[in-house]
Amino acid sequence: MTSLEGQTALVTGASTGIGAAAAVALAEAGADVGINYRRSKRAARGVCRRIERLGRRAMLLECDVCDPDQVDAMVEAFVDEFGRLDVLFANAGGLIQRSPIAGASDRLWHQVVALNLDSVFYTVRAALGPMLKARRGHIILNASLAARTGGGGGSVPYAAAKGALVAFTKGLALEVAADGVRVNAVAPGVTLTPFHDKVTEPARMKGFKASIPIGRCGEAADIARAVVWLAGETDGFITGETIYLTGGA
């Protein structure tokens, strides 16, 4: 059993989907949790209530993770409240919309890269301040199976950004290993979350499911369990790795 008793965790994009499931799972393991959201305040409050019912502390953190100044302020507020930052799950991201590269606008490309790559850089950079000072911490990034496959149609910008996260994970792990900070990533396959509700039509989703050897799509709880397991490896040997959670796909 993983125990995070006495630890704190900050989860970006924590109001719905994988982020919400991970926030609750981290609290179930004993952590106090910061719940970042941008627009979905009602959903974020629901996650907060679930965590508080577990007897853990929860903090709502409204922040656009694509804005470095807001990110710096969010991390500062988190540390002011909890006194330490042990785990960062940089989960926020999204496809925004599907578009073939030949028809993709500059704006779409930059939006996707900002949301899935720039935001992680800003959040990790801010989190490293207190982690390096304490000489401890675990950074977990949310990559994607798309980093390996190129995506599921009309999603090259997303796949490219997620592929960059895999390299970012490896490089940062090498950079901060001697400082007591470990860096890993989870890479979900097709997972039943609001992500696909917005950008994947039913016929495409049916095809995705048919390609999964285990016979079902992933659920947010599947990814959350891996996040908690990685977070619980406080003095562990795993760093620089990307764990693909794809049902065999």
| Predicted local confidence at residue 195, as pLDDT | 66
Tell me the domains of the chain and their CATH numbers: 8-243 (3.40.50.720)
- 222-242 residue pLDDT tens: 999 999 999 997 668 899 999
Mean pLDDT of 93-108: 96
User: What six digits make up the tokens of 178?
Assistant: 């001697």
The SS3 assignment for 9 reads: strand
Beta strands in the chain (DSSP E): 8-11, 32-37, 58-62, 87-90, 137-142, 181-188, 191-192, 218-219, 242-245
The pTM of the full predicted model, rounded to 2 decimals, is 0.94
Name residue, tokens 């959201």: 37
- 6-61 residue pLDDT tens: 999 999 999 999 999 999 999 999 999 999 999 999 999 999 999 999 999 999 99
Residues 21, 65: Cα–Cα separation, whole Å: 19
Maximum distance among all Cα pairs of the chain, rounded to whole angstroms:
51
Catalytic residue among 37, 122, 158, 244: 158
Cβ pair 231, 186 in contact under 8 A: no
The SS3 assignment for 61 reads: strand
* 158 given a catalytic annotation: yes
